[in-house]
Structure 1
Amino acid sequence: MSDERQNTSEMGRRAMLQTAGAAVITGLAVGGTPTVALAAAQDAGGMSTADRNEAPLGARLQGVQHFGLTVQNMERAYEFYTAVLGGTEVFRHGDFQGDGVQNTLLADQEIEANARGVNPRTIGVPDLRGGAQRLDVRFIQFDNVVIELLQYRDADQPMGSSKSFAEPVQHMSPAFPRMMHICFYVRDDVDFNKFIADLEAESARRGMTQVRANRTVRVMTEADRKAAPRSSNTNRVTQAPSDGWELIYCKGPEGEQLEFVKALGPVKQRFSEALAKRQQTVTR
């Protein structure tokens, strides 16, 4: 085979893999028609919903849905990922505050601050609960992955501000700039609360006691977190344009920041439409 034919074949193979990967990530193919790759990913083994919920954890995932990056300067980061690297905005949402978002994202850090006897702010925990700080997000679509840009800012700073709540230093809190998290995509038919409980149990069985998911109710000690009802394993978002998310933050075995999500209904459709539009306009 000539070099030209090899290059052509390789380009075609890459395009096929990119398209299949993108379809799996969004959960929908262009126009809503399932692709072979998507069908294989969602229906592996032909499991019933009941069987799926008792299957190994890996069989209940659809892969990685997005990567999140907490930034110091939202507009600068947005320009880099869109104008420089060519990503396409899916949607943006912001001014998040209140008990629900505070508990979902930052419960483990409040437990840590309480255990140390220090003000949560000193270890990088914003006050979303009281509204002193706010969280803004923007989702950027690439061919086979989505990047989420997050900025925690003081309430008196405008959205897109160049001034973040915390300095860009290494720490455990996900509110610090440069802190990334990996988001795993849970299958649509999986019981999210049970998945989180099983994840913690399986990790503990293997001696990975650092793997701890947050709760959507306020907890001040590790005992409180463990005693929280199973229903608090899931934050169900109902406000547009984020309506359809089910999510919780979780620490991994090395202290890395993880997130587990389901993308259902309206938010799933938004990602699907953004991908379809991108595939129609991007020239290879």
Structure 2
Amino acid sequence: MITGVHHIGIIVSDREKAIEFYGDVLGGELLYTSEADPEDIAKQIGVEGASNKAAVIKVGNSILELVEYVNPKCKPKQMSPCDIRTLHLAFEVDDINETVERLQKKGIKFTAVPKFIDKGKMKGWVWVYFKDPDGCQLELVENRELKNPL
């Protein structure tokens, strides 16, 4: 039986750059780094000759696994937020305006200003999108009414 989400894996182009972003910029805690046994990882993911190195970071109460494939090298893809298989990761924050201001001072660019939802099922939410260094869509969410988790 599935009991919850254990971690979220994100394929990154550069593990060190991702550690800096998700750790230093977003405030996550680096738990550990690792390098997978090439034989095992190739078998597990079904890609012959695959090898990778990863970093595991705790952000709030969530765990992110940042994986850089050493072989085969990842191919950057230009994707739109509405493309199939595109995911976005939403971080819950206490104060969205303070968080946006803090991240802007660190060079983060947001796609728009935070949007307040004043009606419907998500009433009380305030949200805004931005991207990580590889273009992964990220979101900040403040739930001011705490009644509607989603």
The TM-score range, normalised by the shorter chain, is 0.3 to 0.5
Q: Looking at secondary structure, tell me which structure has more strand per residue.
A: 2
Could you state the TM-score of these two structures normalised by the residue count of structure 1? 0.26
Per the normalisation by structure 2, the TM-score is 0.48
Structure with greater helix share of residues: 1
Structure showing greater radius of gyration is 1
Structure ranking higher on relative contact order (CA contacts 8 Å, 6+ apart): 1
